[in-house]
Amino acid sequence: MRLPIPRDISLANKCLLLFGGAVVLIVLAAFTAPWLRMNALVAERQEELARRLVDVWQRQDALARASGLTPIPDEQGRTEYAGVRARYIALEEAEALAENDAFLRSALRQFSRDPRAVDVVSSSWDGAFRVYRYARAMRETVEGQGAHLSGLVLHEQRSDDTAVLLVVNTVYLLSAGTVVLALALLVFYLITHKIILGPVRALKETAERVQQGDLRIRSEIRTGDEFEQLAETFNRMLEHLSSAQEQQKAVNRALDLELAKLAQANTDLYEANKLKAEFLANVSHELRTPLNSIVGFGELLQEIAAADKQRDGESAALTKRERYITNIVRASRDLLGLIETLLEMAKIEAGRVEVHFDSVHVRESIEGLAALIHPQAQEKGAEVVIEAAEGLPRLRTDAKRFQQIVFNFLSNAVKFIEPVSRTGRPGRITIRAEVLRGRSDGPFDTMRVSVSDTGPGIAAEHRERIFEKFYQVNAGHNKVQQGTGLGLAICRELAHLLGGEIQLVSELGRGSMFSVILPLEPSAELERTIASRAGGLGKREAPAALNE
């Protein structure tokens, strides 16, 4: 239970308030009992005095009546003997008077209920005087009926000294209580400030010095109690903190050295990456020129071989020569494509890919791509099917990058689809274009162009990794398909540049579906990003090969 004490009161004031209040309650409880007992003794004394006075009055009244004297009552019906005034009231008169007198009603009720009751005393204040009223039961014995109440003797007296006595006693008790309370509070104040608050203040000062950063300070409390144990624990904690601080400084110094090494390594890596980019650009440029010459001369040799074959007729030597030349041309083209792929990834990593948004007729684009891939698909006995409505809206994007993504999907589909000679059934490659409306992750309508095939499918553990650079499912010396493993990584990067994404749905034994999802209209933020990057490209010098 939380006491209702304000939070901004100091510990000393809280102790003084709480314990002072407790001492006040204890002193009041200790002096209340004597005060009540003193009042009870005064009341008992007055009751005994009234009883004796009534005894005197009854004896004198009996003697007077025995002598034949008739006392004269005063206006209240009281008679006086030896200075004592009392009155005898018969039962019928007492019952009549009791209707307006609460004391008489109470006395009659008690005497009637308890035959052994003799007297009743009541007291009340009349200004500064104490008034005591005394009633004694008068009983008569009737033969065969026992004693019964016949009347009452009433006596009333005013006590002048009782009020004074009560006031004196009360003042005495209050004075004694005040002195005891003051002494208790003084002793408590000295004890708390010396034994409790002194060590607490010392600990507080030590904690403040620690807060200011001084970990060399120690608490010097020698009280031989829990405060000393607390101070020792506090000192041990400071020692641990000092040790931990020194260790932290040592670790920070080691980290500074490591950071310096990392900074130097980062600089070296930057330089190495710069050299790699320059090397890749130079090598790509230097390789493309002789490869173009090789391809060109190879195609020229193919034409010469074809002309010789037509002029001299088909022979084994000519057929072999034509096959060798064809292999040279095919290998040269594959090597040229590999170099182009590496050069494309280098551009993407360097942030030098230029994007130009323009209106693209989607169906015409995929029809052109299908025509390009058709010869390769036909070699494997696969058919290429287009599923795209005539009324598709135009897509505003970079036509070259869009076609590059879709054609890579088609090339992979043809590459991995099983030939009809092996499966006994023709494969199928489907190009589908559709508009997606009301997507929950964006406010714009999007276009999805997907390429699905009836190939072997991709296992779940490879579906995310195939978009990593240089990762191939059948990697190794005996892999079935050749390639660099950069095609899908390039597609994903290009899709991000165009503000879209790549999706893959695949199942082993049932084929795969690669999709590119692009907004029908690029966002203003994307266009600003593309424009700013294009401006940056114009301001800095790019390697020659990247600008080819």
Residue where a domain terminates, one of 181, 211, 230 = 181
Q: From CA 286, how far away is CA 266, in angstroms rounded?
A: 29
Look at 36 and 162; give whichever has higher pLDDT: 36
Domain count, the chain: 2
Residue 342 has pLDDT above 80, yes or no: no
Residue 477 has pLDDT above 50, yes or no: no
* Residue 519: closest CA among 393, 363, 431: 393
Residue 165 has pLDDT above 80, yes or no: no
Residue 507 lies in a domain: yes
Residue 528 lies in a domain: no
The tokens for 317 are 């030597």
Residue 285 lies in a domain: no
401, 355 contact by CB (below 8 A): yes
The tokens for 30 are 């200790």
Q: 3-state DSSP call for residue 214?
A: coil
Residue 289 lies in a domain: no
pLDDT value at residue 180 = 81
Residue where a domain terminates, one of 147, 163, 181 = 181
Residue 140 lies in a domain: yes
Question: Average pLDDT of 139-151?
Answer: 75
3-state DSSP of 442-504: CCCCEEEEEEEECCCCCCHHHCCHHHCCCCCCCCCCCCCCCCCCCHHHHHHHHHHHCCCEEEE
pLDDT value at residue 402 = 92
Domain that holds residue 493: 358-521
Residue 195 has pLDDT above 80, yes or no: no
Q: 3-state DSSP call for residue 338?
A: helix
Residue 270 lies in a domain: no
Residue 119 has pLDDT above 90, yes or no: no
**Minimum mean pLDDT among 161-165, 245-249, 375-379: which range?**
161-165
Residue where a domain terminates, one of 129, 147, 181 = 181
3-state DSSP of 269-293: HHHHHHHHHHHHHHHHHHHHHHHHH
Question: Average pLDDT of 61-82?
Answer: 77
Residue 309 lies in a domain: no
* Identity of the amino acid at 199: P
pLDDT in tens, 517-529: 999 888 888 877 7
pLDDT in tens, 379-414: 888 899 999 887 889 999 999 999 999 999 999 899
- Could you identify the residue written with the tokens 């002072």? 20
Enter the DSSP assignment of 192: I
Q: From CA 168, how far away is CA 172, in angstroms rounded?
A: 6
Residue 290 has pLDDT above 80, yes or no: no
Domain of 382: which CATH number?
3.30.565.10
Question: Average pLDDT of 156-171?
Answer: 72
Residue 445 lies in a domain: yes
pLDDT band at 541 (very low <50, low <70, confident <90, very high): very low
The tokens for 8 are 């901004």
The tokens for 242 are 């000092």
pLDDT value at residue 94 = 84
